[in-house]
Each structure stands twice: as C-alpha cells, then as structure tokens.
Amino acid sequence: MREVTAIAALRALLATERSAGRRIGLVPTMGSLHAGHLSLVDAARRESDTVVMSLFVNPLQFGPGEDFDRYPRDLERDRVLAAERGVDLLFAPTVDEIYGTGADLRLSGGEVAARWEGAVRPGHFDGVLTVVAKLFNIVGPDVVCFGQKDIQQATLIRRMIREFNFPIHLLLAPIVREADGLAMSSRNVYLSPAERDAALALSRALRAAEARWRAGESDANALRQLVGQVLAAVPGVVADYIAIVEPDALAPVARVTRGTIVALAARVGRTRLIDNVIFGD
C-alpha cells in the first residue's frame, strides 16, 4: 500500500494506474476504521483494479458544538487495517491540503439535504457534498463505494453524480453490524457499557418494523408508532426522527412497500446514532 498526503503526488500515481488501463475505485472515509469501512474496500475491489481509500475528517460537515475536535482519530491503526484489507493507495491529506486553495464555496444538497439529518444538522450535507465533489475531482474514480449506514448521504451523492454528470458508478454497501445487531460506527466508542446496551433499541426497533410489515402491516403511521414505542421503552434513548420514506428523495410515504426505507436517529446519552433498514432487502 502506498500512502500519500499531497494531491499532486496522488494524481501522479493515479495517472500511471490509469495509463496501464486500470479502473480506479474510491472509498471515502473519515478514518477510525471498523469492519463496515473495510467491507466497502471489498465492494470497490470487485469492480475496480486500484482501490484508493481517503481518510479525512472533514471540518465542513461538522456544525458548531458537534464532535469535530473529539472525533476518534488513529492513523497508525487505520494504516495497518487498510493495508491488510488490500487498499492500494491511502490518501490522508491535511485540512490545509484540501481547503488551502479556499473554502468559501459550497455545493448545496437542496430539498433532500434539508430533511431528516439535515434538519437536525444544518449545513452538514453541503459540507459532505463539497468534500466528495473535491475527492471526485482529485481522484477521478470509475467507481465509488458508500455505505447504506448513511442512507441520506448515499442518496444525495447518487443525486449529485446524476445531476452534475460525474462519470462515476456508485456502489451502495449493506450495513455491517455487531453480532448483537448494533450498526458499526466510529462513534460507538463514545458509548458507556450501559449506553451500548441501550443503543440496541435502534436495530431492535427496525427489525420489529420489518417483521410487522412482513406480517401484513403496510400503514406507515402504524409502523412509525411501533418504532417509537420500541425506542421509548428504553430509558436513556431519545428519538430525533423516524423517517418512513421512498428511496429517491427520501420523501415520506403513507403506505409501505418493498424498497421503502425506515431510517432513524436517536440520542443515547450524549451520543447521536443513526440506523436504517430497506424493506425486502
């Protein structure tokens, strides 16, 4: 695995790969890698020859009072995990390398970015789209892989690729979970043992909703109520939103069908967690 911090050095290496006819796959991350991130490397590998992982905690996507300063960072550990999993190029730039040319302009996620996560975290998705567009321009990937874990982010990137004509194929990788159902997240390290137990309410609520749907319930309000009840039954868990939506614009639906997404965010102690399920997957 080669590791680079400079854009110019990365571009020079990628030019060689491309002229040898290799397809480039990109896996954007904020580091603090876990098995979810590493599954994206496998997915990218299946459709490309050279896998680039970017590792960058993007200040633009954190709001005031969010956890930018305390977000977990461990480059040495990430380097070992990425190399073991077969990443070819690790791109770990500084904030200055990415934004030194200026950070005044932003891409805007529009209506879809204003919903759900965007309503709670104003400007978050504009920051995500801006850095991802920069990574697209820096790397020029044929394929990019994002996780279903951040379903609204993946939805917005699919729309950005379409609306801005990026010649990039998007892969959506399924959510990797701990054995007990908790969706893997770099933020899980914030949880105390008691909070870690309480956090199981999120995946439990989603499983309950899918089971009820499979048993014949298709009314979104009834399913939202069920999810709310499962979350509310656990002290210390406070739901932010329960979204029952269609996959293109994440607009609410009244009736649930195969492909409907149930996405939720909840606070467990001071930690904010998200999870979702795509019905029928």
Q: Does 184 bind ligand AMP (CB under 6 A)?
A: yes
Q: Which of 36, 93, 109, 118 binds ligand AMP (CB under 6 A)?
A: 36
The pairing of beta strand 24-29 with beta strand 50-55? parallel
What the block records as the tokens of 14 is 């990628």
Binder among 7, 26, 89, 173 for ligand AMP (CB under 6 A): 173
- DSSP helix, strand, coil percent of the chain (3-state; round to 5): 45, 20, 35
Report in angstroms the alpha-carbon separations of 179 from 176, 184, 200, 203, 276: 10, 10, 11, 12, 17
Residue 202 or 226 having the CB closest to ligand AMP: 202
Q: Which is nearer to ligand AMP, 146 or 213 (CB)?
A: 146
Output the smallest distance, CB 19 to ligand AMP, in A. Answer: 29
For residue 210, which phi and psi values (nearest 5 degrees)? Answer: -65, -40
Q: Is 85 in the site for ligand AMP (CB under 6 A)?
A: no
| Whole-angstrom distance, CA of residue 44 vs CA of residue 170 | 10
* 7 versus 147: smaller Cβ distance to ligand AMP: 147
Instruction: Let me know: does 265 contact 120? Beta carbons within 8 Å.
Output: yes
Active-site residue, from 34, 37, 124, 169 = 37
Site for ligand AMP in 148-167 (CB under 6 A): 149-150
Which of the stretches 163-171, 183-191, 240-248, 252-260 binds ligand AMP when contact is defined by CB under 6 A? 183-191
Residue from 183, 209, 237, 243 touching ligand AMP (CB under 6 A): that is 183
Total number of residues that touch ligand AMP (CB under 6 A): 17
Closest CA to 87 of 135, 52, 58: 52
Q: How far is the CB of 147 from ligand AMP (least distance, A)?
A: 2
- Give Cα separations from 59 to 13, 99, 123, 197 (angstroms): 26, 10, 11, 30
Burial (CB count within 10 angstroms: exposed 0-12, middle 13-18, buried 19+), residue 254:
exposed
124 a catalytic residue: no
* Interface with ligand AMP, residue 186, by CB under 6 A: yes
Residues 11-30 that bind ligand AMP (CB under 6 A): 29-30
Tell me the catalytic residues: 37
Q: Which residues bind ligand AMP (CB under 6 A)?
A: 29-30, 36-37, 39-40, 146-147, 149-150, 173, 175-176, 183-186
